[in-house]
Amino acid sequence: MDEADRELLRRGRLRLVGELQVAELWDALLSRELFTRDMIEDIQRAGCGSRRDQARQLVTDLETRGRQALPLFISCLEDTGQDVLASFLRTSRQAAKQDPEPVKPLPHLEPVVLGPMGFKPEEQRVGKLEPSQPAPGHLTPVVLGPKELWPARLRPEVLRPETPRPVNVGSGGAHDACAPETIRERADMAYVLDSDPCGHCLIINNVNFCPSSGLSTRTGSHLDCEKLQHRFRQLHFMVEVMNDLTAKKMIAALVEMAHQDHHALDCFVVVILSHGCQASHLQFPGAVYGTDGYPVSIEKIVNIFNGTSCPSLGGKPKLFFIQACGGEQKDHGFEVPRTSSKGKAFDSDSEPDAVPYQEGPMTFDQLDAVSSLPTPSDILVSYSTFPGFVSWRDKKSGSWYIETLDSVLEQWARSEDLLSLLLRVSNAVSEKGIYKQIPGCFNFLRKKLFFKT
């Protein structure tokens, strides 16, 4: 969908959500192949299944359905007797194409000469201030142009005495002067992980996929699974591994885990190793595939453990580690001055955890405030790659992301918080291979998190 149609949908979102009769549209949307039956079922389950929630989700997902999505949607409205909305969209679309909004030039900035006390020359004469007779505490006259908007001597280049300076701890990174041990002991600064075991860790490892899914076997994933199974046991988690689950069984396993009593525990971890793809979203991008080839959105997985669905984890950190592709783009990177040769060679044993997307490239939702939902706190979702890009896995040594995550946890979990650990992972993975990959995270934790070691 081009940007003009996308903008039209956003401007008309309030009216569409308020008036759209979604129940009458499903057959028309299917017949024009705007959505698949599975997509429509996901829309029908949006929110609490109310008409308004379904309408909001439909308008949101419509942006991802290709260049002809809006005219086809208008035809669906006409077929179902919703002529007023159809006319509103068609007229707005025609007007937008006939009268595009002009690009406004940037305002021109004129240099200004300031005299003593910051007065312009003509203001100096009025105030009887002469350049040869500066007032006490004056500032040297400066010329301000487009690139110099503040006297250099006023820039706050020195930290205030009460501000802790970064100190080098000899590990290649900078840390606050406040020691991790001090932060760990303060409940207002760090999560308290006192219980032993400190929580559950569920690992879903999908390796073998149905032939009809078109998804390849994820050779080498068992190495990832074994590494993290060992690592999280070392970090005092109760680890459960589930292999080769369909989409429905994945959801069932997660729901069952959410229904357990976590009151006596301090943390919760989910690791998913699978193929992945892009997916429309309100909060968290991406989806992972079950072995039957059906995707489960990361957003749905995370929300199974929100405060409403899993109250016994309320206020406790919930961590999600996703080893899967975020799309099918391959990143060739860009050139920078070479500082080291740490990069891992890309060879024939490296393969992506993705499946070619069959319906054209997707774009990411850029939602307005009306359709956005509040994101639960105490959640961190760590992705193996940037949304839209592939995530590489070596058949002999496992995925780049999990291999690095395990190594970083082994070396630094005793002394560093989770976000610092994930920065190390991102930096190390970014140096690997001819094709490039950069992990990242969506962080909604309220405090620092130090694993129990």
Which residues are identified as catalytic?
275, 325
Sequence-separated (6 or more) residues with CB below 8 Å from residue 408:
421, 424, 425, 428
Instruction: Give the DSSP letter string of 212-259.
Output: GGTPPP-TTHHHHHHHHHHHHHHTTEEEEEEES--HHHHHHHHHHHHT
Give phi and psi for 305, each to the nearest 5.
-110, 20
Q: How far is CA 392 from the centre of its chain?
A: 19
**Contact (Cβ atoms closer than 8 angstroms) between residue 319 and residue 268:** yes
Short-list 58, 56, 66, 57, CA closest to 2: 66
Query: What's the Rg (C-alpha) of the chain?
Result: 27
In angstroms, the CA 59 to CA 51 distance is: 12
Instruction: State which H helix or E strand residue 143 sits in.
Output: strand 142-144
How many C-beta atoms surround the C-beta of residue 314 within 10 A? 16
Among the listed residues 44, 19, 30, the one whose alpha carbon sits nearest the alpha carbon of residue 72: 30
HSE-CB for 274 with a 13 A CA cutoff: 32
- Per DSSP, 154 falls in state G
